[in-house]
Amino acid sequence: MEKTSKIMNKYVKWVIALAIFGVGLAVYLYYEYLVQDTYGICNINAVFNCEPITKGALAELYGIPVALIGLAGYLTIAVTAFLKKFKWSFFMATFGMIFCLRLTILEIFVEGVLCPVCLACQAVMLVEFILTYQLAFPEKTGLTSSQETKTK
C-alpha cells in the first residue's frame, strides 16, 4: 500500500506540474490573441502558424477566447488534483482532450495550418487524461487492489 501511495503522489505532482505548464501555454495563446502584431515562437512558416488560430475564426467559441477556456481548464485540473478530487480532474481532462482534439481537427482540415502551441496543449492534455484516469480509478488501472479500495 505504501508503494501505491508513493506512485499516486508522484502522479499527482505530475498532473499539477503539467497543468501549470498548460497554464503557461494558455497565457501565451491569450497574449497572442490580444496583441495584434506579434513575432512570437508560434509563427514559424505558412504551415506551422498560430495566427489563424489566435486571430481567426477559431480564436473564439461563443464569444469567449479559446485560450481562456484552456486556461480555466488547466487551472481546474491543477486545483482538483491538489484537493485530491481525482474524478473531477479526470472529467476536466476528458473535456480538455476532446476540446483540444476538436481544435486540432479544425486547424488541419479548415485552416490548413498546425499551431505548435496548440499541439503542445493537446500533448499535455493527453498525458493529463492518462494520469487523471489512473488517479480517478486506481482499482481499474492496478494502482490499488479492490480490497484496498474497500477498506478506504
pLDDT value, residue 1: 54
What is the pTM for the complete model shown? 0.85
Q: Which of 32-41, 59-68, 135-144 has the lowest mean pLDDT?
A: 32-41
Contact call for residues 142 and 121 (beta carbons, < 8 A): no
Band of residue 122 on the pLDDT scale cut at 50, 70, 90 = very high
Q: For residues 121 and 127, what is the distance between their CA atoms, to the nearest angstrom?
A: 10
Banded pLDDT at 64 (limits 50, 70, 90):
very high
Query: Each residue of 110-136: b (16+ CB within 10 Å) or e?
Result: ebebbbebbbbbbebbeebbbbbbbbb
> Does position 28 have pLDDT exceeding 70, yes or no?
yes
Burial environment of residue 7 by CB neighbours within 10 A (0 to 12, 13 to 18, 19 or more): middle
151: pLDDT strictly greater than 60: no
**Among residues 125, 111, 1, 109, which one has the least CA distance to residue 51?**
111
Check residue 19 and give its pLDDT: 97
Q: What pLDDT, on the 0 to 100 scale, is given for residue 149?
A: 47
CATH of the domain spanning 2-145: 1.20.1440.130
Evaluate whether 66 touches 103 at the Cβ level (below 8 Å). yes
* pLDDT attached to residue 142: 74
Q: What pLDDT sits at residue 38?
A: 64
User: Please, where are the H alpha helices in the chain?
Assistant: 2-34, 51-55, 66-82, 86-106, 116-136, 138-141, 146-151
Rounded to an integer, the average pLDDT of 117-141 is: 92
Contact 107, 122 (CB under 8 A): no
Residue with the larger pLDDT of the pair 145 and 58: 58
Per-residue pLDDT band at 39 (split at 50, 70, 90): low
Calculated CA dihedral for residues 65, 67, 71, 77, nearest 10 degrees: 110
